[in-house]
A = this chain, B = another copy of it.
């Protein structure tokens, strides 16, 4: 469809876990890096926004995985922007093998932030570059779930270190997911269990902060909440096991 763009990637050795399948966060990284590169190529990436002191901030992220691909698998990643409100841009993703079988669907909601005034910006300010790329195709998965405070069974501490941070000195988005996945029952990962992941990014974490990662295990669902050392909730997540 018009305004859907497809990129080709390969699952490399650095992406796989002990089962030799791509990790959840490596698939998330392909998705988010593609979001950045696609926006840049179409004239509304962070590079185009930065002269106005604007940037994109990821607010909600959904990832549905039917099966994680094996090492050296080539795959197509198709992305498109649809349904826009004044303050939220929705970007969608579909990952498929070279026969066209979709194995992963994703939806992301972004706000444009004025990083000097620390306020959200109306998307009309970039309408000229942006509106030409809006696509009518529906999102490939349901909208983000509501995620409420949890009652953790287990809490792990994590200090934000060098390898966690991005060029803003903020904790990298996918590192939150990585920390959560490391707390899961490893059998869920060994068995390549299909899942739906919802993440709400609420407040950023910076280098040197100590985080508490709380996990609550329900039947067929695992909930997480990451709290900073000042008590502020950084993010919440839900893994639904299918």
Q: Report A's interface with B, CB cutoff 8 A.
A: 12-14, 17-20, 23, 25-26, 29, 33, 36, 161-163, 165-169, 178, 181-184, 186, 189, 207
Contacts and interface: CB of A to CB of B under 8 A. Distances in A.
A18 B167 contact: yes
A18 B184 contact: no
Contacts of A207: 18, 186
A107 B168 CA distance: 34
Contacts of A12: 33
A177 to B, nearest CB: 10
A168 B17 CA distance: 10
Given A18-B168, A18-B169, A163-B182, 11 more contacts: A14-B14, A14-B33, A17-B162, A17-B163, A18-B162, A18-B207, A19-B167, A20-B167, A23-B163, A161-B183, A162-B189
A18 B178 contact: no
**Copy number in this complex?**
2
Contacts of A182: 161-163
A122 B67 CA distance: 42
A182 to B, nearest CB: 4
Nearest to A164: B182
Contacts of A162: 17-18, 181-182, 184, 186, 189
A41 to B, nearest CB: 13
A241 to B, nearest CB: 16
9 contacts: A13-B29, A17-B162, A20-B167, A161-B182, A161-B183, A162-B189, A163-B178, A163-B181, A186-B207
A189 B93 CA distance: 34
Contacts of A19: 167
A207 B162 CA distance: 23
A161 B185 CA distance: 11
A23 to B, nearest CB: 7
